[in-house]
Amino acid sequence: MCGIVGYVGDRQACPILLGGLRRLEYRGYDSAGVAMVMPDGDLAVYKCKGKVDALEKYLDGKATDATIGIGHTRWATHGEPNDTNAHPHYSADGRIAMIHNGIIENYRVLKEALQAHGVVFRSETDSEVLVNLIEYIRTTEGCDLAEAVRRSLKRVVGAYAIAVIERGNTDRIIAARQSSPMAIGIGNGEYFISSDASSIVEYTQDIVYVGDGEVAVVERGKALQVFTLDNQEADIQVTRLDLSISDLERGGYPHFMLKEINEQPRTIVDCIRGRVNPDTGQVILSGIRDNIDRWLGARRVIFVACGTSWHASLIGKQLFESMCRIPAEVEYASEFRYRRPVLFPDDVVIAVSQSGETADTLAAIALAREAGAFVYGICNVIGSSIARGTDSGTYIHVGPEIGVASTKAFTGQVTVMAMMALALGERKGTLSAAQYAEVSRGLLALPDQLREVLSHSEQIADLAKIFTYARNFIYLGRGYNYPTALEGALKLKEISYVHAEGYPAAEMKHGPIALIDAEMPTVAIVPHDSTYEKTLSNVEEVKARGGKVIAVMARGDEMVRRIADYVIEVPSAVECLQPIIVSVPLQLLAYYIAIYKGRNVDQPRNLAKSVTVE
């Protein structure tokens, strides 16, 4: 949420900042801005409401020949999206400029104190309070900028990733973070700062992740220095990022979302590579193997996650219960953290997060750690806060997910959970050899099956055209596919702004059936599984009330074809893996409905990828 970039080196900073902001626009696109220290030492700040395109137009004809600068793309928290609330913010005396991702929780108290000292504020943001606090401390306590940042942050409560520059200093950026991501790329005599390391990979693959409560002094011609808020020098670890620039481009697709949907046959291969032996079907996951005592001694497994990752976790719960016979619970991280959940040291808490930066999930992890539980991460982004803040974990390895609506991360998460349940179930002896072989063979078959599903994209696009008129949808599924129904409905809501609800098919008659009429389509997930007959009866109930049914069914199922109005055929998989197959046509249906409605699918209104605020 909010993208931040910075550059200091010998090149022109502005094009690098704008390029970085474009790559970070998925994190927020309410407003954008840059600040630079010009060669004569002047501080130039340019910012405006709207996307990076608007900023680029605004910059046209302005002097931008600086070699040091910071930039920001905003997802509004405090204050509406407008030019004044856009970042960078600068101190009332115009001496320092700052970009900020996060929320300063005690900003009201700090603001009143600064106002009492005569500081006049222009914006409604919490960020402007912080930049003025830094400047106030710098002038009243007579310290340099790095020290003023450190002292200010000791008075701040909240989450932040900030970068600060000052008039008259063309060499130095001060950066700091607490609970919001920040990476520093080390180039040849130059430094790049970003809230997402992938946005700077075209310049350098050598990345330093700034730790919580650390302040970095990023200075041209000098080695990077990092200090804790208590002024102790921190260790610097350089991580090599294994990403290519093509992972970050649309690769000929009109939208990242469509690219990412189509990547799934490959991302599943990447996810299972080296983990499922293609010859023997043997599953080896180091996160299970290396911590086997914690897993075997687990009293319970508790998944904590948000949004799509929460839906994947509902499937994870069923996988762990059925294959490992471990009691499993699924919690919204945002609810879990504000309850007083009962946790035991022999619980295993599994944090599931594509970005690895979701603030609520991070807070839930902290709670689990306090209780002494073993905390395991299922993340996509390498080196993310959750990946680094858990005891162990498994990456889903699906590559950067840039479309705001999560697609390939969902199928990767379910794939990882299936592998985990297999590896643990085998060790616990709760799976027969035949069950184990069936599921592991099922995993290996997924890429081809997904290719088959994607070959029907055009038919799904035609179906979407028919239903573009609908204002409400209901998605029904049972068992493993109840979470798939929730996920299908979420995809439609978030990118097409059409109201959609996912429901367990049999629950429909306890209320939502009253909604059924010819105007509200039902998407029914009816594969050949243990709930097939029952779900079919639920579909009949919808038809009997004049509802229109789009059925996602097993290839060649004549029974469903006779009952439903429209069908989407999918290959049959092992029951627990069927959600991976079924979710793909639901992603495509949502995508095409959004396209026919003229929505911006990669940047849906009000949303941003990676929710780093509470």
Looking only at residues 491 through 550 of this chain, which bind ligand F6R when binding is defined by CB under 6 A? 494
Q: Is 610 in the site for ligand F6R (CB under 6 A)?
A: yes
- Nearest CA among 395, 431, 411 for reference residue 311: 411
Nearest residue (CB) to ligand F6R, 1 versus 165 = 1
Nearest residue (CB) to ligand F6R, 90 versus 591 = 591
| Residue 210 per-residue DSSP state | P
The CB-of-396 to ligand F6R minimum distance in angstroms stands at 10
The CB-of-23 to ligand F6R minimum distance in angstroms stands at 17
Q: Is 196 in the site for ligand F6R (CB under 6 A)?
A: no
Q: In which residue are the tokens 């990828």 written? A: 609
The CB-of-491 to ligand F6R minimum distance in angstroms stands at 7
Active-site residue, selected from the candidate residues 47, 259, 493, 609: 609
CB within 8 A of 113, min separation 6: which ones?
A: none
Residue 69: enclosing H or E segment and its boundaries?
A: strand 68-74
Number of residues that bind ligand F6R (CB under 6 A): 15
Task: Select from 405, 416, 560, 568 the one that contacts ligand F6R (CB under 6 A).
Answer: 405
Rg (CA), the chain: 25
Nearest residue (CB) to ligand F6R, 107 versus 336 = 336
578 and 450 in contact (C-beta within 8 Å)?
no
Nearest residue (CB) to ligand F6R, 6 versus 377 = 377
Active-site residue, selected from the candidate residues 2, 14, 271, 379: 2
Angle at 36 between CA 33 and CA 38, to 5 degrees: 145
Judged by CB under 6 A, which stretch of 126-134, 151-159, 354-362, 548-556 contacts ligand F6R?
Answer: 354-362
Cα(387)–Cα(352) distance, integer angstroms: 10
The CB-of-406 to ligand F6R minimum distance in angstroms stands at 3
The amino acid occupying position 594 is: A
Instruction: List, in sequence order, every residue forming a beta bridge with 351; answer none if it has no partner.
Output: 304, 377
Cα(261)–Cα(552) distance, integer angstroms: 17
Q: Is 398 in the site for ligand F6R (CB under 6 A)?
A: no
Looking only at residues 307 through 326 of this chain, which bind ligand F6R when binding is defined by CB under 6 A? 307-309
- 2: annotated active-site residue: yes
43 and 97 in contact (C-beta within 8 Å)?
yes
| Residue 204 per-residue DSSP state | -
Other Cβ atoms less than 10 A from the Cβ of 62: the count is 9
Q: Is 394 in the site for ligand F6R (CB under 6 A)?
A: no
Give the residue at shortest CB distance from ligand F6R.
307
Task: Select from 169, 204, 406, 531 the one that contacts ligand F6R (CB under 6 A).
Answer: 406
Task: Select from 132, 355, 411, 440 the one that contacts ligand F6R (CB under 6 A).
Answer: 355
Collapsing DSSP to helix, strand or coil, 351 comes out as: strand
Task: Select from 70, 173, 306, 554 the one that contacts ligand F6R (CB under 6 A).
Answer: 306
Nearest residue (CB) to ligand F6R, 68 versus 378 = 378
Other Cβ atoms less than 10 A from the Cβ of 289: the count is 12
Nearest residue (CB) to ligand F6R, 146 versus 183 = 183
Nearest residue (CB) to ligand F6R, 224 versus 607 = 607
Nearest residue (CB) to ligand F6R, 264 versus 355 = 355
The CB-of-390 to ligand F6R minimum distance in angstroms stands at 13
The CB-of-43 to ligand F6R minimum distance in angstroms stands at 35
Collapsing DSSP to helix, strand or coil, 544 comes out as: helix
Task: Select from 353, 390, 411, 587 the one that contacts ligand F6R (CB under 6 A).
Answer: 353
- 597: annotated active-site residue: no
Other Cβ atoms less than 10 A from the Cβ of 117: the count is 9
Peptide bond into 88 cis (omega under 30): yes
Looking only at residues 131 through 190 of this chain, which bind ligand F6R when binding is defined by CB under 6 A? none
Q: Is 613 in the site for ligand F6R (CB under 6 A)?
A: no
Residue 129: enclosing H or E segment and its boundaries?
A: helix 126-141
Angle at 420 between CA 581 and CA 242, to 5 degrees: 80
Collapsing DSSP to helix, strand or coil, 608 comes out as: coil
Parallel, antiparallel, or unpaired: how do β-strands 347-353 and 300-305 relate?
Answer: parallel
Cα(420)–Cα(328) distance, integer angstroms: 14
* Binding interface with ligand F6R (CB under 6 A): 306-309, 353-355, 358, 361, 405-406, 490, 494, 610-611
Active site residues: 2, 609
